[in-house]
């Protein structure tokens, strides 16, 4: 289950907000355009799919970079250690 902070990071990635807890009432919009409680609550249902999409894109980008470099993931780990 997603946390309120994670949902806000998805919905308002530029920041400008502070949250205490996981409830809409705990959000303070400092430098961000406020979202509605309905948008926040809907974000919990959307988060898992969004996160899976982000993780898949990161893995794909990593594989593409390794392919361009002509090295394996294990070889990259050796270079970075």
pLDDT in tens, 42-71: 999 999 999 999 999 999 999 999 999 999
Rounded Cα distance, 22 and 71, in Å? 42
Judge residue 46's burial from the number of C-beta atoms within 10 Å of its C-beta, 0-12 exposed, 13-18 middle, 19 or more buried.
middle
d(CA 38, CA 21): 17
Single pTM value for the model: 0.76
Answer yes or no: is pLDDT of 1 > 90: no
81: pLDDT strictly greater than 90: no
Find residue 28's DSSP bridge partners.
Answer: 18
pLDDT digits (tens, 9 = 90+) for 11-46: 999 999 999 999 999 999 999 999 999 999 999 999
What per-residue confidence (pLDDT) applies to 38?
Answer: 98
């Amino acid at each position: 289950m997603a946390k309120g902070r994670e949902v806000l990071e998805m919905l308002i990635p530029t920041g400008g907000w502070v949250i205490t807890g996981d409830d809409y009432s705990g959000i303070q919009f400092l430098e961000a355009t406020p979202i509605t409680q309905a948008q926040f609550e809907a974000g919990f249902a959307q988060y898992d799919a969004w996160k899976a999409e982000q993780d898949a894109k990161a893995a794909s980008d990593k594989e593409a970079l390794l392919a361009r470099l002509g090295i394996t993931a294990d070889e990259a780990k050796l270079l970075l250690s």
